[in-house]
């Protein structure tokens, strides 16, 4: 069988240029395998359990902020507890070392207030927001061109600032900007004659779907290849018997 495989490999080497062109147009489906062939039984392998990612470490600033927030929550709960006990605001403020204004503020709320709720900050681009949204609605999403037009309208912020704002407004509109200089993945190299010969030497029922597609494409390249591979198939069939 080894001699037959090597003979097929040499045959494929002689016709390698036309075989390579044929395989480019064949484009087998990469996700299918021999399990997808008619009559094959699909076996599902168990998915390995992934361990949860480690918790993200908290920065000292974040830790201090959380601790301060916790103290404020405890103060808030203590103020309401003393108020339910019937103590006046003046006494609550004295007992907890708070101002009467702070005590009244706590009592007016059902939940502890957050003094930094993450409000969105205003941008220098907001004055041009309607104009930008109108350009986006027209399909004009080139940030560089829009920045130049804004410069003509008296805009003085940097291109980087404008680009970030454009991207944000695009997202709000449900659109994305294609990456012009995005690197394209390199195409996979074509299989070598040796690899193709090993694909051929396998029994048809043991071949992967991609391998069978490649072999079918090779047979259709030239009549002499079809004849040679048919003869090789007949010879290997005799050996298997």
| Residue 30, pLDDT score | 46
Q: Which residues make Cβ contacts (< 8 Å) with residue 100, sequence separation at least 6?
A: 89, 90, 93
CA gap 210, 27 in Å, rounded: 9
**If residue 66 lies in a helix (H) or strand (E), which one and from where to where?**
helix 60-84
pLDDT digits (tens, 9 = 90+) for 72-118: 889 999 999 999 999 999 999 999 999 999 999 899 888 887 765 55
Question: Is the pLDDT score of 33 beyond 80?
Answer: no
Give the global pTM: 0.32
CA gap 128, 62 in Å, rounded: 34
Question: Is the pLDDT score of 48 beyond 60?
Answer: no
CA gap 49, 239 in Å, rounded: 45
Cβ pair 174, 133 in contact under 8 A? no
pLDDT digits (tens, 9 = 90+) for 160-209: 888 888 888 888 888 776 665 656 667 777 778 787 778 777 777 777 88
């Amino acid at each position: 069988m080894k001699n037959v495989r090597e003979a097929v490999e040499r045959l494929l080497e002689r016709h390698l240029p036309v075989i390579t062109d044929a395989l480019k147009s064949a484009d087998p489906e990469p996700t299918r395998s021999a399990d997808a062939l008619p009559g094959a039984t699909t076996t599902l392998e168990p998915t390995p359990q992934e361990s949860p990612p480690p918790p993200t470490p908290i920065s000292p600033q974040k830790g201090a902020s959380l601790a301060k927030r916790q103290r404020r929550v405890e103060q808030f709960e203590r103020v309401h507890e003393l108020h339910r006990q019937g103590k006046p605001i003046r006494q609550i403020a004295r007992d907890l070392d708070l101002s009467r204004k702070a005590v009244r503020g706590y009592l007016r709320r059902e939940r502890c207030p957050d003094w930094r709720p993450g409000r969105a900050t205003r941008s220098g681009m907001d004055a041009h927001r309607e104009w930008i949204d109108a350009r986006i609605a027209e399909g004009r999403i080139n940030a560089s061109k829009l920045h130049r037009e804004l410069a003509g309208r008296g805009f003085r912020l940097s291109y980087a600032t404008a680009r970030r704002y454009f991207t944000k407004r695009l997202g709000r509109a449900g659109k994305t900007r294609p990456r012009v200089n995005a690197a394209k993945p390199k195409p996979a190299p074509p299989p070598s004659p040796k690899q193709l010969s090993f694909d051929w030497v396998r029994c048809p029922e043991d071949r992967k779907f991609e391998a069978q597609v490649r072999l079918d494409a090779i047979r259709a390249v030239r009549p002499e290849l079809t004849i040679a591979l048919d003869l090789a198939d007949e010879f290997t069939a005799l050996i298997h018997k």
